[in-house]
Structures are given as C-alpha cells and as structure tokens.
Amino acid sequence: MLKKKEKYVVAVVGATGAVGNEMITILEERVFPIEEIRLFATERSEGKRLKFKGDDIAVETLGEKSFEGIDIALFSAGADMSEIWAPVAAKSGCIVVDNSGQWRMHHDVPLVVPEVNPECLKWHKGIIANPNCSTIQLVVALKPIHDAVRIKRVVVTTFQSVSGTGKKAMDELLRQTTDFLNSKEIKSDVYPHQIAFNVLPHIDKFLENGYTKEEMKMVNETQKIMNDNSIKVTATTVRVPVFRGHSESLNIETEKKITAAEVRSVLSNVSGIVVFDDPGENEYPLPIDAAGKDAVYVGRIREDESVERGINVWIVADNLRKGAALNAIQIIEKLIY
C-alpha cells in the first residue's frame, strides 16, 4: 500500500508520448503533491528535456534500479514495456498505474474508473490497470443508469479520434488532408486505408469471432469494472478523421423503465458528467467541445421507441485526458487523499 506522505516521488514511463505528455501537464494543473518527478522513455529519447513547473527535466531510460525511491509510477509506454517493467516497479515498492492493455483482465489486478469502482483500489497488489479509453467514458455514463434501473444490454458504436493511435496517426491525418486538398497522392502508413475524409470500421486486430480486439476490450472491461457479467455488451469501433476526442452512440436496454427526462436528471447529478442536451438549439456534445476538458459529455438522450425499456445516448470525452492520463491521475489521487 502507498504510505501517506506530504509529497511523493512520481515517475512517468512513456513520458514523450501523447498520453505521457498529458500526464505531465495534468500533474502540474492539478497541483499534485510532487517532491520530484522522474521521466522515462525509450533510448532514442534519452537526454531529451521536458518542462514541469518551469523546470527542464531530462528523460531517462529504464534500468533494474530505476524505481528505487519512487512512490508512484504512471505507465503509458505500451503493453510490452509494462509486462517487463511494471512488476519491477511494484517489487521496488512503487505503486504502478498502467495505461496499457497488459494487466487489465488479470484477475488480481484492479481495473479502475474512480467514478465507478474506487472500492477496488483496496485490493491492489502494486499494479492498478487504467481501462481502455473508449471503455472509461462508456462506464462513467452507464454506472448511474445501472444503479437506477439495472442495465440488461448495451449496443455501442464508437467514433474514435486518431490520437488514440498516437502522434504518428495524428501526423498522418494532417499529411493526408493536406495532400488531398492539394491533389497529391495519398499514402497510408499507420492505417491500412486512407483516414482523411474517410471512416474505418477497424480498430486493432481482428479476432476469430469477427470482432476486433478494441471491441472485445469494451465488452470484457465493462463487465469487470461494473462487476456484473450479466450486462450484455456488443460493440463496433470506428476510427474517424478527428484529431482528439472519442464519441460513442449507446443503445441501452434496462430492466426497469426509465424516461429520457429521468436519465437527464440522474446524469445531471453525477460528478464528472456534463449533460449537454438541447436539440432545439442544436446543442449536443462534439469532440471539439470536449478537447482539453475533464468531463464526459452526454446528449441526444431519447427513448428507444423500438423496445419497451430502451434509451439512446450520445457521449463524448477527450480520449487523452479522461480516456487515459486524467483517469490514471484520479486513481492516484484516490490513493493519497
């Protein structure tokens, strides 16, 4: 367990990536009690300097003794790095919050969204998993509805920005857009098809059942976080030409009837959710509105007229913040406050 202190030594592993950079920014914004920050990345980034509270911090590479004296390590360096180094960090007495998919479905590793299942932090053994970006915003919206009327089934279609893939994907979208507008040849390196002015119903690898890994992550992680395998989830995940911010269309079937007005009321009283729902004024959540914000935005709330107890909901969140960096930092805030 994390020993309570006035200030903590914090490491960010994968500091030069999009999520790592966001972690550093949010730690500073939220005035997390830091005695010292250590930044780690791959060898090609060694010696690079990143800003934190006005200071230039040198990026280091990982070694067997890197985590000695570190209290908390925020990992966002990919599953391969987490598989190797998260146990090393935990063995050194460090609390690890891992943003990769490596530990999420391990039975002895809690998978946590602080607004949904903070009680699971009590049984961590040194490693805590940060859920998939698309799952985090989904369960934040689902939990209050589930508590009110119990959810039987969710059909979710995502519209995920390219930042979910990383900086190279963002660069590819920008380059393809520029080339398209200048009538140049479109080249695709990150994605199997052109992403500019296009949508790809394909995120991560395809599995034998015809779903992608991203889709099955949403199914399995939702049930684990909600601690209820009776909730049936089916997902279609789509990559769209948006730089930042994931959107999701939810069709929710509940055990008890709940009206659209009641859903608005329930969600309006939940910390971390902003209900933005006035179709008459063309007000509904957009990725450009959510970018840089902490909340999950909910709108287009309406009853599904094709079933007796159904609700349709549209949700948007910044995938780099609430979908990754912010959620990880909210986890460690729960541990220290």
Task: Name residues whose C-beta falls within 8 Å of residue 186's C-beta, 6 or more positions apart in sequence.
Answer: 176, 179, 180, 194, 196
**Is 246 one of the catalytic residues?**
yes
pLDDT at 182: 98
Instruction: Read off the pLDDT of each residue in 218-245 and give the average, rounded to a whole number.
Output: 98
Give me the mean pLDDT over the 181-195 stretch: 98
pLDDT of residue 45: 86
Specify which residues 11 forms β-bridges with.
Answer: 38, 73
- Helices 133-149 & 260-268 angle (0-180, nearest 10): 110
Give the mean pLDDT of the chain: 97
What six digits make up the tokens of 56?
């230039």
Cβ burial of 76 (10 Å; 0-12, 13-18, 19+) is buried
Which residues fall within 8 angstroms of residue 119, CB to CB, at 6 or more apart? none
Confidence at 44, pLDDT banded by 50, 70, 90: confident
Asked whether 46 and 110 are in contact (CB, 8 A), the reply is: no
Q: Residue 77 corresponds to which tokens in the numbers above?
A: 């360096």
**Nearest-angstrom CA–CA distance, 278 and 38:** 45
What pLDDT shows up at residue 2? 84
Q: Over 90: is that where the pLDDT of 1 sits?
A: no
pLDDT, average across residues 113-125: 97
Q: What integer is the mean pLDDT of 264-285?
A: 96
Q: For residue 276, what pLDDT band results from cuts at 50, 70 and 90?
A: very high
Token pair for 246: 């994931």
Considering only CA atoms, which of 248, 233, 171 is closest in space to residue 203? 248
Domain 135-319: CATH architecture, name and number where available: 2-Layer Sandwich (3.30)
User: How far is 150 from 235, CA to CA, in rounded Å?
Assistant: 19
pLDDT-derived band of residue 128, with 50, 70 and 90 as boundaries?
Answer: very high
Rounded to an integer, what distance in angstroms lies between the CA atom of residue 214 and that of residue 202? 9
Where in the chain are the domains? 8-131+324-336, 135-319
> Strands 72-75, 296-303: parallel, antiparallel or unpaired by DSSP?
unpaired
pLDDT number for residue 46: 86
Sheet holding 310-317, edge to edge: 232-239, 151-160, 246-254, 310-317, 296-303, 273-275
User: What CATH code is assigned to 8-131+324-336?
Assistant: 3.40.50.720
Question: What is the Cα–Cα distance from 205 to 211, expressed in whole angstroms?
Answer: 9
Nearest-angstrom CA–CA distance, 40 and 11: 7
How far apart are the C-alpha atoms of 274 and 280, rounded to whole Å?
18
Is 211 in a helix, a strand, or coil? coil
Indicate if 135-319 has the same CATH topology as 8-131+324-336.
no
Q: Average of pLDDT values for 106-113?
A: 97
Q: Cα–Cα distances in Å, from 232 out to 130, 151, 223?
A: 22, 8, 8
CA separation for the pair 185, 183 (Å, rounded): 7
248 φ, ψ to 5°?
-140, 135
Give 311's pLDDT tier (boundaries 50, 70, 90): very high
Q: Could you read off the pLDDT of 279-288 as tens digits, one per residue?
A: 999 999 999 9
Set 120, 124, 146, 246: catalytic member: 246
Q: Which alpha helices (DSSP H) does the chain contain, by range?
A: 18-29, 79-91, 133-149, 167-181, 213-226, 260-268, 287-290, 326-336
Catalytic residue among 107, 133, 146, 202: 133
Residue 47: per-residue pLDDT:
84
Q: Is 39 within 8 Å of 66 (Cβ atoms)? A: no
